[in-house]
Amino acid sequence: MRDVSKLFPRGSKPVDKKITVLTCYDFMFARILEDSGVDCLLVGDTLGVVYQGQPTTLPVTLDEMIYHAKAVRRGAPNTFVVVDLPFLSYQVSLEEGIRSAGKVMKESGCDAVKFEGGGPEILELIYKLERIGIPVMGHIGLTPQSVNVFGGHKIQGKAEEDKARLISEAKGISDAGAFSIVFELIPSALAKEISESVPIPTIGIGAGAATDGQVLVIYDFLGLNKGFKPKFLKTFLNGYDDVSSAVKNYIQEVRNGSFPGPEHSH
């Protein structure tokens, strides 16, 4: 078990260095990310969209999350791994949430779980899990499992009442015992205000530069998700075109007989 307090120190603001987080869903990418020095891997329920091709994260199951988390842990045995609890694996009851979190921890070998929201039931679940030894990362702002309530992927916290709610949720999540909070799609000024008001590290995605760390979806980060270009995203590789070019070269060489050559033959 990797020490959560070293990577996500409570009460140390600002953190010594920005925390780097990337989503990951498989062994090969996990190995690359660990070897490259990423601080934390998030096995996100975003796999429903970017890996399975679903329109939202809602269809993802708990067993699917565990399957992917086990692969990531094998590829990155020394990196801090957080696993999302998927839709309806923790909202039905406190007991169900505890059972789901415990199942993920026991079967995947991960270091922590993450789930969305900051209402009273969620805060109680965080409190209970922390006291039985399951570290929790919170998530507020645009919470994809509630996309049907929000009416799409829209920036949260523009209205004063929404701003006040997010501030209250963040403080509640921190007080309940979470070790970190993800801010998704909230105005940068609000993210800065909340980050400075809570004693735990904050991780942003579409929340500006004032958070204590950043997270991106790996396929978006690598430019593999063709046509997906939200304002907050910077692509660090032209992955779609590079892979497509390699595939076209392979097709051409197979068809013209230049591959396999003598050097590739036994």
- Annotated active-site positions, please? 184
- E strands of 32-147, at which residues? 40-43, 80-84, 112-114, 136-141
d(CA 172, CA 186): 18
3-class SS at 165? helix
- The residues that bridge with 158 in the sheet, in sequence order, are none
In the 8-state DSSP scheme, what is residue 262? G
- E strands of 64-165, at which residues? 80-84, 112-114, 136-141
In terms of Cα–Cα distance, which of 231, 214, 234 is closest to 223?
A: 234
Any known ligand binding at 84?
yes
Any known ligand binding at 202?
no
- The residues that bridge with 214 in the sheet, in sequence order, are 20, 204
Any known ligand binding at 13?
no
First to last CA, the chain: 45
d(CA 124, CA 172): 10
- In order of 104, 124, 169, 216, 220, the CA distances from 97 in angstroms are 11, 10, 19, 26, 30
Any known ligand binding at 45?
yes
Half-sphere exposure of 205 (CA within 13 A, CB side): 23
Any known ligand binding at 16?
no
d(CA 202, CA 205): 10
Half-sphere exposure of 108 (CA within 13 A, CB side): 35
Binding-site positions for Mg(2+) read: 45, 84, 116
Binding-site positions read: 45-46, 84, 114, 116
